[in-house]
Structure 1
Amino acid sequence: MSDGAGTRSAVEWLATAAPDPGTCRWEWERNPLGIALLPAGRIWDVLILSSALGHPTLDVLSRCTDRLGPVLADYGDSRMGFFVPPGTAAGWVATGVRAVGRGSWVVVPHPGRAASGVRWIVPPDGRGTLTDPAVLELSMHEAAALLACDRRGEDD
């Protein structure tokens, strides 16, 4: 997110998840790590996948839709978090996927700056776009099938 207005609107949108948006913005500006701890379940939930599945899922998802919600990667790029509509986590049933919703907190980097430990792979657009969980699930299935085919090919 290179334009200042886009970054500002992304900051404003993300900060609305905080109990006190002003404190959240203040924390982002002054925290040397460039992160804030935000509650899930209010304006978004997060589905966390291993990067081994997350990267191919993002590739499939990017080909299926132009309405991608934000996607985070953790330090070391071992996990990825896909932002989905609130309430998704409560009904999500999938092996190997951690569903983070109401009652959970997420480390969120400032959308316009490098942060320590966590980074945006797909930054928030500032309009509140979230990934459709049904499209995400289908993309995960396709990515898992592609990974299985790749592994079978390596065994031959």
Structure 2
Amino acid sequence: MNKKPIVFLLMTSFCLAVIACGGGGPKAEATATETDAAATTTTATPSDYDPKRGEGKFNESNVTLGALDNAMATKGEAISATKCTSCHKLTEERLVGPGWKGVTTRNTPYWIMNFISNPDPMIEKDPKVQAQLELCLVRMPNQGLVDNEAREILEFMRKNDGAK
């Protein structure tokens, strides 16, 4: 039996999976006022972890929502097309990761921003994220989002959920 086609198929599948989840596009540079989410993440033990806020720098004092900002949502859609939609659908259907439909009704805005900007601490501590990991079997990679990108993706998620 010739194993070359099987090896080629496996290698091609692996390469496509790496490309699909890696983002691959150029990173937006952070402005001087923006900081890397990983550098400012607070340390918390599981006992003092707040599942409504998540782990990170975003909270109710620095994430406020008003009417849907369509300009931000459009930017968020473009970012998500590059960094998110290879693993997430806009419906409830799971692809590699869970679908996005209803995510803004199930989680606080700052929880979402903390998770998408620096997922690793929340993967370790958040019961909802751990339950999703058991279903999906793939850890969400850190896409290196800067603050404004995380906020724009949040606005796109709100638009996807019907915010006005």
Do the structures match in fold with TM over 0.5? no
Q: TM-score normalized by structure 2?
A: 0.29
TM-score, scaled to structure 1:
0.30
The answer to which structure has the higher helix fraction is 2
